[in-house]
Amino acid sequence: MIDVVLKKGKEKSLLRRHPWVYDTAIGKVAGKPLSGDAVCVRASDGAFLGYGAYCPSSALRVRIWSFNESELMDAPGFVEGRLKAAVSARADLLGRTTARRLVFGEADGLPGLIVDSYGDWLVTQFQSAGAEQRRELIAATLMELTGAKGVFDRSDAATRTREGLASRVGVLAGAEPPEKIEVVEDGVKYWVDVRHGHKTGFYVDQRESRLAAQKLAEEFRRKNGRGLRALNCFCYTGGFSLALMAGGAEQVVSVDSSGEALARAAENAELNGFDSSRMQWVEADVFAFLREQREAGELYDLVILDPPKFASSHYHVERAARAYKDINLNGMRLLAPGGHLFTFSCSGAIDVDLFQKIVAGAVFDVHREAWAIGRFGAGCDHPLLMTYPEGEYLKGLHLLMRP
């Protein structure tokens, strides 16, 4: 195995078991490893640090798969064992949902690999050179472990380009998936399009937040004798909207810039038999829509802001901060006294502290008092590896606007 030797002093993050090695930390490479090849990372004094997969075209040059010198990443059974442990850790979720994340990259010791399960079908994303080189073994093992009918690959994320990998979409193993897959989450049904939907077809990471919205709707009706009026911005295929209807919301206005996504959302509502007269689907730019609603004097009991990623890297943080401030400021202006705000960021470059400061700034500028009464994050199938804080990409706040 080829040795990758770090510059003096650059071993500190690996000693703390952070799994990334950037090109600027490398002193020399004793050979010419190919994309995805296993390498041994050593400190400048030759001390063992870890085994990882090499990517010559990426600034993130090595992703560590094992910190154990006796645990070779290409040894027979290594990948299979990691996959088995990951699948087993999510088994208890089957009591609540048929949509789960089975593998979450670095958190499961399989850097750059994403696997989601939708009923009898699996969807993969190979976001690193190391995962890509081992894709056939991974696909075959997943089929055996889960009994899935097929594995569909959605390796079309931007991270592929940074790894020097071409985009790929198609069947990886087993049969072709149907055009739409029905999943059930906390009693609510959803259609999932694994070929064309965002990410792998569905935002499985928002499960706990959707359940919180459903429970809030139930509690609001119990306390007030009526269903709440909600505005769901960046609604995509209606996840939060459906959860609110299941909880007894009186009216849900859902806004997205994609007419295609809204059509799918309406199909999801029909699948559940919800009263269409209480649901409104609006194709519009959310930033403009929020201002128009304010000018019209509209008020809501709940506003949900779940935008797409505004900052793809640290270079875009300033611009993203302005966008988050804008939607939160205008979203708060639409809340009735005692109203609730669910606000989210899925931008990894915006950390929890910065996001809270942005939202606090919006509260100050709107001249209202607000309590943060809850925090949101991805569910237990997206565990946070404590030595890899970058894994905490999704964060959210539940604010109560004081009367």
Q: Give the largest CA-CA distance in the chain.
A: 72
What are the DSSP calls for 214-272, one per residue? HHHHHHHHHHHSSPPEEEEES-TTTHHHHHHHHTT-SEEEEEES-HHHHHHHHHHHHHH
- Find where tokens 């906390």 sit: 186
Catalytic residue among 55, 235, 346, 380: 346
Is 346 a catalytic site residue? Answer: yes
Q: How far apart are CA 246 and CA 205, in angstroms?
A: 19
Binning the chain into helix, strand and coil, the percentages to the nearest 5 are 35, 30, 35
Strands 20-22 and 251-256: unpaired
In sequence order, which ranges of 275-383 are alpha helices (DSSP H)? 286-295, 317-332, 352-365
Query: Are 215 and 158 contacting, i.e. CB atoms less than 8 angstroms apart?
Result: no
List active site positions: 346
